[in-house]
Amino acid sequence: MSEKEKKIIETIAEALPNMSERDKGYFLGYAEAKADKAPADREQEAEKEVS
């Protein structure tokens, strides 16, 4: 895990307890959507590199 990724996780860990339940739900939905999209994004990047 890179230092940038570690910093992101630390920041989220600090902010999460202070969030409202609504904000936590929004954040979770956003994170899940990004995670679902990540494999497709990697495929597109790989195709661009090959072309």
Residue 10 lies in a domain: no
pLDDT in tens, 10-51: 999 999 999 999 999 999 999 999 999 988 777 777 777 776
What is the value of pTM for the model shown?
0.65
Residue 51 domain flag: yes
Extract the tokens encoding 6.
């570690």
Which residue range(s) make up the domain with 50?
Answer: 20-51
Say if 43 falls within a structural domain: yes
Per the domain annotation, does 9 fall within a domain?
no
Residue type, 8: I
The number of C-alpha atoms within 13 Å of 28 and in the hemisphere containing its C-beta is: 8
Give kind and range of the element (H or E) at residue 18: none
In a domain, 50, yes or no: yes
Q: What is the pLDDT of residue 38?
A: 82
The total domain count for the chain is 1
Is residue 30 assigned to a domain?
Answer: yes
Q: Is residue 40 part of a domain?
A: yes
Burial class (CB in 10 A: 0-12, 13-18, 19+), 30: exposed
- pLDDT tier at 4 (50, 70, 90 boundaries)? very high
